[in-house]
């Protein structure tokens, strides 16, 4: 019995780790797509994501469910807003990874948990606990330090953090009504005209690479849709199995991997002031982690005192 009770958590950890591992390794994948540029990569990512979703819907008999959602304007337009935000996130991220700015992209995802707390105050009018306020304050100091270190505002990191944070908030509005596959399908469908416009722009300027740089490059561009959809589906499955505390800890895997790729593989420069900025951000994340663990322990104790059995 005990082994069976732990299985959902174990499988959730594996699924979540798989999602964050894929997201962390994406910089290496996008570099393999050269000579395709960031606009073309994102365009094919959208188109082939929709193709992958169509196949997945067919295999899972999900078309009826999608049709039901498509007849609900509130959900359609909410997912259109989500599509705009994820497009901004994808375009910024691919630009960063293909232009030698993987470390700043990692910074964006290190900042993201703090941005979520910040947005909770602004959007949901939540009241923060003292450690959460401390984490927000420390992160603001880190952004100031990094701005001075760069000599420029870290717009890539903040665009990634805020676009993904807002995307999560928009998705939360329909989270109980829309499954991951249907949601990604509708978002991708909304973005197809944008993808076509990008391909027209690329074709009229530098030229479209797809189909001209060898079979390997073409296959990798097609698989960009799979690489986009699979971690989202893994994450959705993981989130249904895991307590929030585990999701909160797993999310650090992605920026850690990205940071290692930027420093160890791409040999991006890390001046002392830049290290200071990252250390300050890590300190803020440490405060958030302590707060998350405390809140989880308090919630478990409260449920236990009411006679509710909780999973670990």
Predicted confidence band of residue 135 (pLDDT cuts 50, 70, 90): confident
Q: Is pLDDT above 60 for 3?
A: no
Token pair, residue 65, equals 């469910």
For residue 130, the model assigns a pLDDT of 82
Which of 63-72, 77-86, 107-116 shows the lowest mean pLDDT across its residues? Answer: 107-116
Q: What 3 state SS string does 232-263 have? A: HHHHHHHHHHCCHHHHHHHCCHHHHHHHHHHH
pLDDT digit string (tens) for 16-49? 899 899 999 999 999 999 999 999 999 999 999 9
Could you state, in order of their start, the residue ranges of all structural domains in the chain?
Answer: 2-305
Q: Is pLDDT above 90 for 129?
A: no
For residue 185, the model assigns a pLDDT of 93
Predicted confidence band of residue 290 (pLDDT cuts 50, 70, 90): confident
Which of 82-86, 158-162, 236-240, 308-312 shows the lowest mean pLDDT across its residues? Answer: 308-312
For residue 30, the model assigns a pLDDT of 94
For the stretch 274-286, what's the b/e string if a residue is b when 16 or more beta carbons lie within 10 angstroms of its beta carbon? beebbebbeebbe
Among 77, 83, 80, 72, CA closest to 49: 83
Q: Is pLDDT above 70 for 312?
A: no
Say how far residue 15 (Cα) sits from the centre of its chain. Answer: 15
For residue 304, the model assigns a pLDDT of 66
Q: Is pLDDT above 70 for 307?
A: no
Helices and strands of the chain, counted as H and E runs:
12, 0
Give the pTM: 0.84
Mean of pLDDT over the chain: 85
Predicted confidence band of residue 303 (pLDDT cuts 50, 70, 90): low
CA pair distance 23, 29, nearest whole angstrom: 10
Q: Is pLDDT above 60 for 311?
A: no
CA pair distance 169, 116, nearest whole angstrom: 9
For residue 5, the model assigns a pLDDT of 44
Among 291, 310, 46, CA closest to 184: 46
Q: Is pLDDT above 80 for 220?
A: yes
Could you tell me which residue, 49 or 11, shows the higher pLDDT?
49
Which of 40-44, 139-143, 257-261 shows the lowest mean pLDDT across its residues? Answer: 139-143
Q: Is pLDDT above 70 for 245?
A: no
The C-alpha angle with vertex 100 and arms to 99 and 102, in degrees rounded to 5, equals: 110
Token pair, residue 87, equals 């497009």
CA pair distance 38, 110, nearest whole angstrom: 22
CA pair distance 62, 11, nearest whole angstrom: 24
Would you say how long the chain is, in residues?
A: 312
Q: Is pLDDT above 60 for 275?
A: yes
Which of 60-64, 70-74, 282-286 shows the lowest mean pLDDT across its residues? Answer: 282-286
pLDDT digit string (tens) for 149-207? 767 788 999 999 999 888 888 887 887 788 888 989 999 999 999 999 999 999 999 89
Token pair, residue 161, equals 């953090």
């Amino acid at each position: 019995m005990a082994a069976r009770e732990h299985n959902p958590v174990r499988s959730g950890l594996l699924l979540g780790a798989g999602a964050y591992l894929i997201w962390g390794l994406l910089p290496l994948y996008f570099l393999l797509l050269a000579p395709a540029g960031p606009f073309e990569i994102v365009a094919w990512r959208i188109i082939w994501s929709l193709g992958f979703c169509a196949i997945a819907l067919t295999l899972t008999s999900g078309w009826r469910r999608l049709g039901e959602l498509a007849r609900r304007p509130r959900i359609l337009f909410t997912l259109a807003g989500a599509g705009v935000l994820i497009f901004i996130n994808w375009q910024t991220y691919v630009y960063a990874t293909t232009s030698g700015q993987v470390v700043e992209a990692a910074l964006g995802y290190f900042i993201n948990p703090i941005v979520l707390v910040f947005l909770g105050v602004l959007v949901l009018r939540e009241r923060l606990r003292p450690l959460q306020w401390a984490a927000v304050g420390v992160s603001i100091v880190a952004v100031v330090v990094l701005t001075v270190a760069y000599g420029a505002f870290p717009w890539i990191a903040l665009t990634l953090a805020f676009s993904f944070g807002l995307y999560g908030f928009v998705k939360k509005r329909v989270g109980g009504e829309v499954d991951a596959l249907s949601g990604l399908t509708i978002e991708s469908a909304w973005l197809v005209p944008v993808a076509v416009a990008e391909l027209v722009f690329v074709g009229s300027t530098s030229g479209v690479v797809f189909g001209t740089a060898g079979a390997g490059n073409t296959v990798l561009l097609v698989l960009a849709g799979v690489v986009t959809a699979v971690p989202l589906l893994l994450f959705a499955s993981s989130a249904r199995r895991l307590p929030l505390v585990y999701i909160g800890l797993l999310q650090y895997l992605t920026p850690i991997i990205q940071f290692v790729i930027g420093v160890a593989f791409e040999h991006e420069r890390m001046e002392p002031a830049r290290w200071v900025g990252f250390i300050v951000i890590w300190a803020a994340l440490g405060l958030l982690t302590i707060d998350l663990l405390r809140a989880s322990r308090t919630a478990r104790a409260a449920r236990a005192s009411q006679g509710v059995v909780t999973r670990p």
